[in-house]
Chain A
């Protein structure tokens, strides 16, 4: 445990310094918790105030939240325990030392539990606490809730770790990690689609009751009795409604994590060494690929090939495409179900306004995805970056190749989001062109900014691309990109409104309004070019000045 404790101490409480980082994390988490708590209280109060159906529904959502939390914990624990148990860098030192396997299991259990469950616990606490507040559950609810959360998290992590020890015996460690990763991503998408496409908020809309009569009849049925998360949900629901504790369920929640822990320890004794041996034999890359055709001299072509191969051969990267697909479906679906016909204003005005604001929304999606994929792409070169820097390829050209590589998929994505949502909103005429042109200007600029910030704050030691997201550079990039988008949208508000008013009323484009629109577009292009070149240049200077 010592390495974990010491490195955590050094990270959060550096010697002779005020622990700003620790305090920052603490305050940020508290602020997020508070916001979550307030939102949850508002939503549950709304459900609660409807009628008895609302109460049943809110408790059903309570159960779903527990089961979701439990499943996510099991998946994330399995992914990280493959790493902590089998692929950790300190494994060779620890396993070569005369330490019992049960001790190793205990050590890895504690660290994996902390890594995987702290966030889930911190963010689920305010939601479950909100139930206590709305149901006026009394003082005993709080320790009961805390104990139940810890117990459920304990069950999830011990179950996940035990299962991992067994699974790694059947598959090589890296393959197991991939399999669990796919499963957890599919599960995440499933939950996301269910929540968005079923629109649970409609269930308390009196107009819709008739359509959900079958669903409502199923609401009263209790959750699956064999899932530990359902025990926790039932125990707390029972207490919330009747102020009584089901002792059988409480006993199950106490005994199960302890039993599972000992089972995990036993599995470790029994199967660990075989699995660890296998994880070293299977070095993951024993796959044969065939070269495509002949070598060509173009460094741009090869940068494209390199980037796409590195992306497509890394399951942690390409599997994100599923998430993006789900995001696009839900994004466009929302336009389809938008109740514009119920608006107080003329439908055409509203759809055009939405189409205009959609430029910003698309820009926001582009900025988030650029933060995930484009921003870390320079740091992702890792230790191999010396190859680029010591070659005759200039840094500017290298950045240009990267830019051109990412500009194609991002342009396609922005076009899909803009054109399809315009189609769903029946947008034609000048608004269509305004949205597409401005959307593309924003997309191309945001990409350049992502690369610029990525170069300025390149972290060549980051373990993977996702890890770079938490850094200061990514946050600054997102902040700058969104400010830029808002500025463009804000500046365009008046000229676009005037042009559209003329077009919708009389079907003509007044010359002076058209001129202001063109001026706005030209100013937008000017700002975009300035920002793109400014950040790219700073990035190039930083890369050339820094050591690798």
Chain B
């Protein structure tokens, strides 16, 4: 682990100066998305500051992935707007996308490319400088144990390897904003640990990270602030203290707050009934 930490600390690349709290990288205002009569995202407003890790927490089907897809420019919102680095995503999509790295929850990749070719393709889409490319790919492939696999076709990769390749492809771009949907799905404990450390490391150097998860452990360990989404609406947003105040549970952990805020306290009754059987 010592070696690993050295590796992580040696992460090269430009360090973004940490600026004042008022500098906002991602601003979402009154975001709404409907699918037919179903409102998937309902009037959500939030912001993420430079160098901040914002956790987007919610039960299955709450609207996390829909929100993330809108931030990544994959879905058009019905109402509201998204700004990235003070630019409107609707008005200047190319510039906003240049500043955003999106890591999806399901690693669909081009099966017939090798891992290295995939990285080259992604780098070309984002017009990455050749020297940054060679420096970063070497670093991340080594870090994720993909060095020996880089010239093999992606179709032979396991789920976890694909996930690691996608994460490498985004981290190598050094974007000011990283948007991640369920970052640890399919990762082994070592890789999950590396990813967490990498996120912290990048955030400390000024990268903003917006991540959705339903893992309370990841949210409480990684995130500076957390937003809890339920049925498409932002139920609460803030750091652990803010959420405790909101839930009126001053000395409770995130799990209890989450259950309280998402109205899942009936779960306690179910658990009690199951135990009584």
Binding site for B on A (CB under 8 A): 283-291, 294-299, 301-302, 305-306, 309-310, 313-314, 382-384, 386-394, 544-545, 547-548
Contact = CB atoms under 8 A, between A and B. Distances in A.
A314 to B, nearest CB: 6
Contact of B108 (A291, A382, A393): A382
A289 B114 contact: yes
Contact of A295 (B72, B106, B120): B120
Given A284-B153, A310-B112, A393-B125, 10 more contacts: A285-B156, A286-B152, A291-B114, A295-B124, A296-B124, A297-B127, A306-B121, A309-B113, A389-B73, A548-B75
Interface of B: 69, 72-76, 93-95, 97-98, 100, 102, 104, 106, 108-114, 116-117, 120-130, 133-134, 151-157
A297 B129 contact: yes
Contacts of A544: 76
B153 A289 contact: yes
A306 B110 contact: yes
Contacts of A314: 112
Residue in A387, A393, A394 with the greatest tally of chain B CB atoms within 10 Å: A387
Q: Return the 5 tightest CB-CB contacts between A and B, nearest first.
A: A383-B108, A285-B156, A285-B153, A285-B155, A302-B124
A309 B151 CA distance: 13
B127 A310 contact: no
A390 B110 contact: no
Contact of B72 (A291, A301, A390): A390
A390 B72 CA distance: 6
B114 A392 contact: no
A384 B162 CA distance: 12
Contacts of A297: 123-124, 127-130
Nearest to B71: A390
Contacts of A298: 124
Contacts of B109: 384, 387
Contacts of B125: 299, 302, 387-388, 391-393
30 contacts: A285-B111, A286-B153, A288-B152, A289-B152, A291-B116, A291-B117, A295-B120, A295-B123, A295-B134, A296-B124, A296-B130, A298-B124, A299-B125, A301-B124, A302-B124, A302-B125, A306-B113, A306-B121, A310-B112, A313-B112, A382-B108, A383-B106, A386-B74, A389-B74, A390-B97, A390-B100, A391-B97, A391-B126, A392-B97, A547-B69
A384 B110 contact: yes
Nearest to B94: A392
A288 B151 contact: yes
Given A287-B152, A287-B153, A289-B151, A392 B126 contact: yes
A295 B151 contact: no
Contacts of B95: 392
Nearest to A381: B110
Contacts of A386: 72, 74, 102, 104, 108
A399 to B, nearest CB: 14
Contacts of A305: 117, 121
A298 B126 CA distance: 9
Contacts of A299: 124-125, 127
A290 B114 CA distance: 9
B108 A384 contact: yes
Nearest to B113: A309
Contacts of A382: 108
A387 to B, nearest CB: 7
Contact of B102 (A288, A294, A390): A390
Nearest to B131: A295
Nearest to A380: B110
B164 to A, nearest CB: 16
Contacts of B110: 306, 310, 384
B151 A290 contact: yes
Contacts of A289: 114, 117, 151-153
Residue in B72, B76, B120, B129 with the greatest tally of chain A CB atoms within 10 Å: B120
Contacts of B133: 295
A548 B74 contact: yes
Contact of B155 (A284, A388, A394): A284
Contacts of B157: 285
B121 A302 contact: yes
A302 to B, nearest CB: 4
Contacts of B104: 386
Nearest to B158: A283
Contacts of A383: 106, 108
Residue in A294, A299, A301 with the greatest tally of chain B CB atoms within 10 Å: A299
A310 B114 CA distance: 10
Contacts of A290: 151
A319 to B, nearest CB: 14
A548 B66 CA distance: 11
B153 A313 contact: yes
B184 to A, nearest CB: 19
A392 to B, nearest CB: 4
A287 to B, nearest CB: 6
B180 to A, nearest CB: 12
A185 B77 CA distance: 48
Given A295-B120, A383-B108, A390 B114 contact: no
A285 B154 contact: yes
A309 B121 CA distance: 12
A306 to B, nearest CB: 5
Contacts of B76: 544-545
Contacts of A291: 114, 116-117, 120, 151
A204 B130 CA distance: 69
B238 to A, nearest CB: 28
A547 B69 CA distance: 9
Residue in A283, A286, A295, A299 with the greatest tally of chain B CB atoms within 10 Å: A295
A345 B157 CA distance: 66
A391 B127 CA distance: 10
B152 A285 contact: yes
Contacts of B117: 289, 291, 305-306, 309
Residue in B100, B116, B117 with the greatest tally of chain A CB atoms within 10 Å: B117
Contact of A310 (B100, B113, B124, B151): B113
Contacts of A295: 120, 123-124, 130, 133-134
